[in-house]
Amino acid sequence: MIKETKIYQVLARIKRNVRLIIYPKPKAQYTYREFCKMLTKTKGTFFKYDEIDYHKTQRFPFELSDSFVRNKKVCFLRHDIDHDPFIALKMAKIEAEYKLFGSYYMLTTDTDIKKIWDKKRVKSLKALKEIQDLGHEVGFHYDLLGDYLETGKDVGRICEQTLAEFRAAGIKVSGCVAHGSGRLSTYLSEKKIKDYPRECLNFNIWEESNEKPGMVELNNRKVNIPFLKLTDYGMRYEAYKVRRNYYHSDNGYVFWQHGDPIETINDKMDEGEVTCILVHPYVWRKNMG
């Protein structure tokens, strides 16, 4: 049985690589280093999420305190490390050269990353600490709902254990951001649920980012979605739920989703508004500069 799974995995990897040779992933028209240079020439003020004080308003679970946004075009450089912390470290070094500092969130579960994380845990934590030492923030990128639906395990404990490992390595985690879980989409489609229910978005597991506990129907069975409190885990924000007026991402190797971030900062943003630029370090691995 194990042998069969292994053969299947090897075949799947070969298939993926062949597909990548025939249809290579697109690259941005500039390197990441050039992108950093462009960002430094804008009028944006770059913050890390952990530098800001937040409060809840009717519209936003995490509104920024006025002193941070007044007379500024507030920009966040958010990095979702879905794959490889070592590529993220390269990116963090380039940004630091340009005095750009942002927030890096590390995923430790979900299909691809679990293999890297389990095999290279000590080295990975060292790379993350190095990212922090360069002046960036390091936080938790999580798929706790995927963990829960796949294994039925107590995700509060998983969260606690992961954060304990981060903190034991000297990483000061004060916030997190949800992973758009591939595993969760696959799981739900296997259950013949086509539309991703709102309750199955990872960030809805936090009391601070949601009004009430969620429930989802799977195979005619009602399943309660875990409902946790950020503060119980020493965290004070969920970056997904922080107010943003503009959002650009390199998701799916598109440069960029929702238009060009440089244009947004220069021409569209008003002072007091917030832009989040989401980058996936892995997407730039062949175009770092």
Judged by the rule CB under 5 A, the positions of this chain that interact with Zn ion are 80, 82, 179
Paired strand residues for 248: 277
Query: Which CB, 44 or 281, lies closer to Zn ion?
Result: 281
**Cα(162)–Cα(77) distance, integer angstroms:** 24
**Cα(251)–Cα(277) distance, integer angstroms:** 11
Q: How far are the Cα atoms of 39, 56, 79, 108, 132 from residue 178, in angstroms, in the given order? A: 25, 19, 12, 12, 20
Min separation Cβ 174 and Zn ion, Å: 19
Min separation Cβ 233 and Zn ion, Å: 19
Min separation Cβ 144 and Zn ion, Å: 13
Query: Which CB, 140 or 273, lies closer to Zn ion?
Result: 140
Query: Which CB, 44 or 139, lies closer to Zn ion?
Result: 139
Min separation Cβ 110 and Zn ion, Å: 8
DSSP one-letter code for 235: -
Query: Which CB, 31 or 251, lies closer to Zn ion?
Result: 251
275: which residues sit within 8 A by CB, 6+ positions away?
44, 73, 74, 75, 76, 244, 245, 246, 247, 248, 261, 264, 265, 269
Min separation Cβ 237 and Zn ion, Å: 17
Q: Are the C-beta atoms of 47 and 32 separated by less than 8 Å?
A: no
Query: Which CB, 82 or 84, lies closer to Zn ion?
Result: 82
Sign of the torsion angle spanned by Cα atoms 277, 282, 287, 289: positive
Could you give the 3-state DSSP secondary structure of residue 206? strand
